[in-house]
Amino acid sequence: MNPYQLLPPVHEVLVSPEAQELIDIWQVPGKLFKDWVQEEVDYERELIAEKKTSDDSLTRPQLTSQILKRLTRRCRDFSPYNLRHVVNATGTVLHTNLGRARLSERAAAQVVKSATHYSNLEYDLESGRRGSRHSIIQDMLAKASGTEAAMVVNNNAAAVYFILRAFAQGAEVIVSRGELVEIGGSFRVSTIMEESGAKLIEVGTTNKTHPSDYEEALSDKTAMIMKVHTSNFKTVGFTEEVPAKELKRIVSSSASEDAPIVYEDLGSGSLYPFKNEGIGDEPLVKQALKDGADLISFSGDKLLGGPQAGVIAGRKALIDKLKKHPLARVLRVDKMTLAALEATLFDYVYPENELNDNPTVRDILKSREQIRETVQHTFNELQGSLHSVSLSVEEETSKVGGGTMPLEELPTCGIALTKEGMSANACERFFRKGDIPVICRVSEDRLFMDFRTLDKEDLLVVKNKILALDNVNGEG
Ligand SMILES: *Cc1c(COP(=O)(O)O)cnc(C)c1O
């Protein structure tokens, strides 16, 4: 018989009770499901054309059932969106590839509210007239950073560009060679500087820069001395840098009327004193301003634990100039960002719970003992019901991530997993599949799940993944 007659018509597969049940359970849009059926039938047709369907005894119901099996798999992996919720079991708190900081519940609720309702975004409720979106965030930022004035742009890279462009276009900016960093591959201080039209004057060497280096480079063309926090690397050993306080002294002794601006790109800009807990030595935003910087900038979604944003703070006259600059409109943030940032800052200004509401701060501060409790609990729950998967409770270290505190090793605890007949890399791939992917580390040919970055909800996903892995046979 003609083997093509084995192929079920698309319609026949679609109306089968099995297909209807799949659509029902997985909530796949009907049109998309139909496309899948078409693709699967086409695939079977190709197999026949290539004579790979050689089994003469194959019947149409059998072929249909093969197609349905593959449709089931597609449904299981189906997600309507490309941007998806994943579980971060790497332990890296500010994982740049996984979206950096997560918002607190309070901040997330504010985002939803601002997005689904009208707001006073640019409306002054006192006067009933037009207001400014800058004033929305001004108070909370000023309180949190202890500054005269502040504003927000899209991210810290934008803040750096904006400040250079507004205050140093066509003029000179002095930067230490030890601070000409590249962050995340796409942000280079020297490139941003060139793009802004400011002229970079490099001083000092990679490991040492002295006050006299700045003094010698200072001229009437100098618009700014810029300090860049070398977030993602550390020069150790024979090193010297010049603190903002000293830079301020150097510029104020310059003869010109318009003393050059001292600007410090803090990178992470911590509002929480992690250093007091023995974690890293990130400069505090408040301290940087006290030390004499005229302007500072930092990210919203690094150590602050808020939305993607670039916060600029400092002297009011300078901030006012920025607010009036045409680029302010180009780089402005959305109402959802403002809502998230204000709520994030609120928890710093009025902490109720020692900031345990902020997921970034909370995750960085978690002790190994705290983490171990959850690990042990999960381990005990699973241990008895596994056949081909073996688990062990292990101590490891996690990273802060996001290019911050690169040398910091946070003591952590997690579960190492191996499966009979399957490599760690294959297990890692298996964990990445499915409705909610779980992203893990592989070390010493074992899958490692760091529990530092797992929430209660995540635990359920992880447990189900482990049980599902236990049930598949080999290869994966
Ligand atoms: C991360 C970082 C930036 C870029 O900040 P984004 O918010 O990612 O744009 C700029 N400068 C320093 C020193 C940084 O660490």
Domains of the chain: residue spans and CATH: 3-76 (no CATH), 87-97+363-470 (3.90.1150.180), 105-357 (3.40.640.10)
Rounded to whole angstroms, the maximal C-alpha distance in the chain is 98
Secondary element (H or E) of residue 456: helix 456-471
403 lines ligand 1 (CB under 6 A): yes
Retrieve residue 436's tokens. 């909610």
Q: What is the pLDDT of residue 235?
A: 67
Residues 211 and 258: beta-carbon distance below 8 Å: no
Residues 413 and 451: beta-carbon distance below 8 Å: yes
Q: What is the DSSP letter of 404?
A: B
- Residue to mutate (ligand 1; options 229, 299, 312, 405; most atoms within 8 A of CB): 299
Residues 310 and 154: beta-carbon distance below 8 Å: yes
182 lines ligand 1 (CB under 6 A): no
265 lines ligand 1 (CB under 6 A): yes
Tell the burial category of 472 from Cβ atoms under 10 Å away from its Cβ (0-12, 13-18, 19+).
Answer: middle
Residue in 5, 8, 6, 26 with CA at minimum distance from that of residue 16 = 8
310 lines ligand 1 (CB under 6 A): yes
Closest ligand 1 atom to Cα of 308: 7
Q: Distance (Å, rounded) from C-alpha 362 to C-alpha 353? A: 10
Q: Distance (Å, rounded) from C-alpha 156 to C-alpha 215? A: 28
- Residue to mutate (ligand 1; options 231, 263, 405; most atoms within 8 A of CB): 231
Secondary element (H or E) of residue 224: strand 222-228
Q: What is the pLDDT of residue 82?
A: 87
Q: Distance (Å, rounded) from C-alpha 28 to C-alpha 72? A: 11
Closest ligand 1 atom to Cα of 232: 15
6 lines ligand 1 (CB under 6 A): no
Residue in 356, 352, 338, 283 with CA at minimum distance from that of residue 104 = 356
Q: What is the pLDDT of residue 476?
A: 43
- What's the gap in Å between 303 CA and the centre of ligand 1? 11
- What's the gap in Å between 299 CA and the centre of ligand 1? 6
Please state at what angle helix 316-324 crosses helix 156-168, rounded to 10 degrees: 100
Query: What string of pLDDT tens digits covers the 476 residues of the chain?
Result: 788 888 999 999 999 999 999 999 888 999 999 999 999 999 999 988 887 766 667 888 999 999 999 999 999 888 878 899 999 999 999 999 999 999 999 999 999 999 999 999 999 999 999 999 888 888 899 888 888 899 999 999 999 999 999 999 999 999 999 888 777 667 788 899 999 999 999 998 877 888 999 999 999 999 999 999 876 666 666 677 888 888 988 888 765 667 899 999 999 889 999 999 999 888 889 888 888 899 999 999 999 999 999 999 999 999 999 999 999 999 999 999 999 999 999 999 988 766 678 999 999 999 999 999 999 999 999 999 999 999 999 999 999 998 788 888 999 999 999 999 999 999 999 999 888 999 999 998 999 999 999 999 999 999 999 999 999 886 44
Retrieve residue 372's tokens. 């171990």
Q: What is the pLDDT of residue 205?
A: 83
Please state at what angle helix 189-196 crosses helix 156-168, rounded to 10 degrees: 40
- What's the gap in Å between 159 CA and the centre of ligand 1? 9
Backbone phi and psi for residue 447, each to the nearest 5 degrees, phi listed first? -85, 130
Backbone phi and psi for residue 458, each to the nearest 5 degrees, phi listed first? -60, -35
Positive or negative, the CA dihedral 40, 42, 47, 48 is positive
Retrieve residue 369's tokens. 């003992």
Give the predicted TM-score (pTM) of the model: 0.88
CA 8 to chain centre: 47
The partner residues of 60 in beta bridges, in order of sequence, read none
Q: Whose CA is nearest to atom 5 of ligand 1?
A: 156
Q: Distance (Å, rounded) from C-alpha 238 to C-alpha 240? A: 7
